[in-house]
Structure 1
């Protein structure tokens, strides 16, 4: 019985992690398409953009990509402080994870307010503020997920996840062994598609996806795992 409960709890955590990947995908799509042309979680991409902007003397792009990198790092540091490191005897969903994700939710809510009061058309200065707020939010999420202590689990750094999937499949491992990683990758792509789609058909609704999904993760994490 206890093993069944633990297995269900692990499955629920995986579902919530996939949901966080959806948030990452939507946030990156919105940042790239509508807020300065920089990523909010893909810092490798931002480093490349920063280097390219230096060669093309594109000051606006350099500020957007460079600022996003700094904001992400600040968020990752804050997330590490809030969520802490894995410890022996950790719960499947430690309470500090919920605390850190709540702070992320506050940052995304701040971005949403700025987006809405400008009618989905923030000026240059506010565009950067909103981009940096989202970058900091995903920085928090990136380091918070590390509290689970699961090797290779990430909702933002997914190049490594994709590489691991390919290596394991190429060396004869079954799909079942990497299915949890495939779910996260699919969640990221689905989130990006949904975020981009909302920008095209209903720009004012774009933040709703991020807030709804992250809010659901925080709520479920705070209630279901506390009971278990």
Structure 2
């Protein structure tokens, strides 16, 4: 949920200030790309290409960092934290550029910040896949989560009980987007605090948990 709040905030910033595209919703970006191609709208096409390419790069790098999920791996592997730390580094670069431009980047800087945000979201997606199994919930693309919830409500016997985690994650995305949008428009200098605090708190929690497990096993 915490990671998804950050996702909503990042997507809000890229949509509002970085070309009207998303940093993590690749499906929506591909639709925008088709629209741009049909009307020969170069600016929209370039922004969507940068966003999709950045996301793909982030997923590729994150997958290399986490490696394939294993049956005997811990609930939260160290490599997942490593991928999130790499995402944090990209968000630091993004936030620095954002603050230096007053939250209104343009030209090549806007493309660079869009690429950094998309890479960060790709890294997060790969990190969550690195959890493996039922724990590998998405915190970036949530169409499947919504589909599952609707199916569970209409066919509870076939779908099982309603997934409270799915509801919470969808609410977290909406909340993150709302908070991020308010800050982007009214307090752009403060905006980067939201995604950085969300991601940083998850990394810190993972580090604390690992330290406790190491202490208990020694």
In structure 1, the residue matched to 2:139 is 155
Matched, 1:140 2:123: yes
What SS does the aligned partner of 1:135 have? helix
1:226 aligns with 2:205: no
Match of 2:182 among 176, 197, 209: 197
Residue 205 and residue 166 in structure 1: after superposition, are their counterparts in 2 closer, same or farther (change >3 A)?
Answer: same
| CA-CA distance at 1:67 after TM superposition | 1.1
Q: Which residue of 2 aligns with 1:74?
A: 57
**8 Å contact kept, 2:18–2:114:** yes
Aligned residue number for residue 165 of structure 2 = 180
1:85 Cα deviation after fit = 1.9
SS in 1 for 2:173: helix
Q: Structure 1 residue 61 and structure 2 residue 28: aligned? A: no
Residue 133 of structure 2 aligns to a residue in which SS?
coil
The CA RMSD over aligned residues, in Å, is 1.5
Distance in 2 (alpha carbons) for counterparts of 1:73 and 1:61: 18
**2:30 maps to what in 1?**
47
* Equivalent in the alignment of 1:114: 97
Correspondent of 1:126 among 106, 109, 114: 109
Instruction: Identify the match of residue 71 of structure 2 among 73, 85, 88.
Output: 88
Deviating above 6 A after TM superposition, structure 1's stretches of 4 or more consecutive aligned residues are none
Residue 26 of structure 1, CA deviation: 0.7
Normalising by structure 1, what TM-score? 0.88
Offset at residue 176 of structure 1 (A)? 5.5
> Which residue of structure 1 lines up, in the alignment, with residue 216 of structure 2?
none
Structure 1, unaligned stretches of length 5 or more? 1-17
Contact 1:169 1:175 in 2 (8 A): no
Match of 1:205, SS? coil
Q: CA deviation at 1:204?
A: 1.1
Give 1:175 shift.
Answer: 8.8
In the TM superposition, residue 226 of structure 1 has moved relative to its aligned partner by 3.5
Counterpart contact for 2:58–2:122, Cα < 8 Å: yes
Q: Distance in 2 between matches of 1:108 and 1:164?
A: 31
